[in-house]
Structure 1
Amino acid sequence: VDALKQIRQAGLDRVHIGLETGYDPLLKLMKKGVTAAQHVEAGKKLLQAGMQVSEYVMPGLGGQEMWREHAVETAKVLNQINPHFIRLRSLRVPDHVPLHAKLKDGSFAMQTDDMLAEEIKQFIETLAGITSTVTSDHIMNLLEEVSGKFPDDKEKMLRVIQIYQELSESDRLIYRTGRRSGAYRSIADLKHDPTTYQKIKNLIQEVEQNEGPQGVEKMITEMVDRYI
């Protein structure tokens, strides 16, 4: 801690950490070279040194197999650290990273957007006893509105997820397409701009007619991957 304090006094007052997950088996699988306990120790030392700490979390990193453990154990790590910021950066898998091979051979299955919403709900529910600010300020995040400061805004963030989950299947698809194309920033945009809503609906219908539902999913995936 003394060395970190000297660094702080020299002018470095903010540290961004790629936690990504607090689940040890997943940390090992992703070859992060660190354990959850080491993340907790490092985060606490940085705070003791007077630095502002941002911890980055990657929803989706557990895939369909380990999503719940990923959500719960990551939240538990952050509960121990209580960083200033928790920044969500949803998983995307470009073809040049090792995980892409697992995706192609079927040993890793990406979550759907609806699955991701449920994972983030579990994550937010498990966060407790902290004063951190959660931010979802990245285009690859489905629900940018899942943002706020604990503990006051916890229920507000969960409400955003609930509103998304209660949308009809067709409206969820329209929102996903609008969000991934950059047309929407919030669920409320579905109702605020009827013209855009109808344009997106027409686009989805056209793609479905020509390529089927899988064509729509392919289109949405390609939209997200543009931002990598």
Structure 2
Amino acid sequence: MRPTRNCPWNKCAFCSLYKGEKFQIRKVEEIKGDIDAVKRIEELIKEGSDEVNKVPRRCLTMVFAWVRSGKRTVFLQDSNTPIMRTSQLVEVIEYLRETFPAIERVTSYARSKTIARKSLEDLSELKEAGLGRLHLGLESGDDDILKMVNKGVTAEEHIEAGQKALEAGFELSEYVMPDLGGRELFEEHALNTANVLNKINPDYIRMRPLSVRKGTKLYEKWEKKDFQLSSPHERLREIKIMIKNLEVSAKLCFDHRLNGWRDKSGNRLFKVDYEGYELPEEKDLLLSLVEEGLRVDESHHLDVRKLKTPSL
């Protein structure tokens, strides 16, 4: 569901999404209309009505898949829906849950800057209304790197946002981007990101390795050789530093295809699922996996520098 469209910031040097697109906060009644439309399509499916043939194929397929899955989860898109006025978003979430009582979890992406600016009272209202999980793009905990990629947020704001989200009762996922500092700043990236995560102590840490995408400022720097991507082994060494310095009770997840390292048998080095590895319980296991990956010849690992197009 898209209560908002596109991104209100849209300036990150590594991001190619939403370029040329204007950010929009949709009207509450329009969003409710979408919810009503989904409900009507569900009814047509259950009735076996011929009217269902008038529904656009893509919409029908999506609603059918969601209904078949049990209607348990909803993701609010696009990049920063909590930027809506709290009262309006509360109204949307409450209407959504009233219309579909089977929903167990509502999730949204959000910018740390937005969450940091929201009052704890506002965040608590959203949680009480039924927004249960937030995904924040931490990317890095190093201020120089955050400035370099024009993230529009500081490490301290990341910490404030994460702590406030948890205090309000949200389940929190923080996204980290290995190699965002490149070869030059890999150690600062690893150490300062671990430091920020330690102060937040989120529920999930999700690894999203950097790929430089055409049409971005970082791609331009990479083409001019002003930014150097790390090798697969160098990325693993960076991750090793980060893991060694993490002191959190969280799940560390490698649930993205760019986590393309291989073990000695040629299988994926890290398991690819949404629950990942428990920290601190599986910290030693993770470090041993990193060491195994470092013993595997680099030619067996995914190397974003050698892809035909770095735009993934």
The bucket for the TM-score relative to the shorter chain is 0.7 to 0.9
2:258 corresponds, among 140, 144, 166, to 140
Q: Specify the alignment match of 1:154 in structure 2.
A: 283
**Residue type of the partner of 2:308?**
E
1:105 aligns with 2:194: no
**Residue type of the partner of 1:74?**
T
TM score, norm. by length of structure 1: 0.76
TM score, norm. by length of structure 2: 0.56
| In 1, Cα distance between equivalents of 2:249 and 2:134 | 17
Q: Specify the alignment match of 1:48 in structure 2.
A: 167
1:221 aligns with 2:307: yes
Q: Specify the alignment match of 1:32 in structure 2.
A: 151
**Residue type of the partner of 2:258?**
M
User: Any idea what the Cα deviations from partners look like across 1:100-132, whole Å, max 9, x if unmatched?
Assistant: 11101111001111110110111101101x111
Higher Cα Rg, which structure: 2
- The question of whether the paired residues in 1 share the 8 Å contact of 2:139 and 2:176 is answered with yes
Per the alignment, do residues 218 and 156 of structure 1 end up closer, same or farther by CA in structure 2, a change over 3 Å counting?
Answer: closer
**Residue type of the partner of 2:234?**
M
User: Any idea what the Cα deviations from partners look like across 1:22-53, whole Å, max 9, x if unmatched?
Assistant: 00001111111111011101100000000000
Question: Which secondary structure does the structure 1 equivalent of 2:308 belong to?
Answer: helix
Q: Specify the alignment match of 1:69 in structure 2.
A: 188
| In 2, Cα distance between equivalents of 1:151 and 1:41 | 23
- Larger % of helix: which? 1
Count of aligned pairs between the two proteins: 182
1:58 corresponds, among 173, 177, 194, to 177
| In 2, Cα distance between equivalents of 1:133 and 1:95 | 32
| In 2, Cα distance between equivalents of 1:83 and 1:218 | 28
Runs of 4+ in 1 over 4 A off after TM superposition: 217-220
**Residue type of the partner of 2:211?**
R
Question: Which secondary structure does the structure 2 equivalent of 1:152 belong to?
Answer: coil
1:5 aligns with 2:119: no
Per the alignment, do residues 80 and 218 of structure 1 end up closer, same or farther by CA in structure 2, a change over 3 Å counting?
Answer: closer
1:114 aligns with 2:233: yes
Q: Specify the alignment match of 2:70 in structure 1.
A: none
| In 2, Cα distance between equivalents of 1:92 and 1:112 | 12
1:131 aligns with 2:249: yes
Per the alignment, do residues 145 and 7 of structure 1 end up closer, same or farther by CA in structure 2, a change over 3 Å counting?
Answer: same
**Residue type of the partner of 2:270?**
E
Percentage identity across aligned positions? 36
**Residue type of the partner of 1:156?**
L
**Residue type of the partner of 2:140?**
T
1:165 aligns with 2:294: yes
**Residue type of the partner of 1:21?**
S
**Residue type of the partner of 1:157?**
L
Deviation of 1:3 (Å): 1.0
Q: CA RMSD in A?
A: 1.8
**Residue type of the partner of 1:141?**
N
Deviation of 1:222 (Å): 2.7
| In 2, Cα distance between equivalents of 1:218 and 1:45 | 35
Q: Specify the alignment match of 1:92 in structure 2.
A: 211
Q: Specify the alignment match of 2:100 in structure 1.
A: none
Unaligned stretches of 5+ residues in structure 2: 1-119, 262-268
| In 2, Cα distance between equivalents of 1:31 and 1:65 | 17
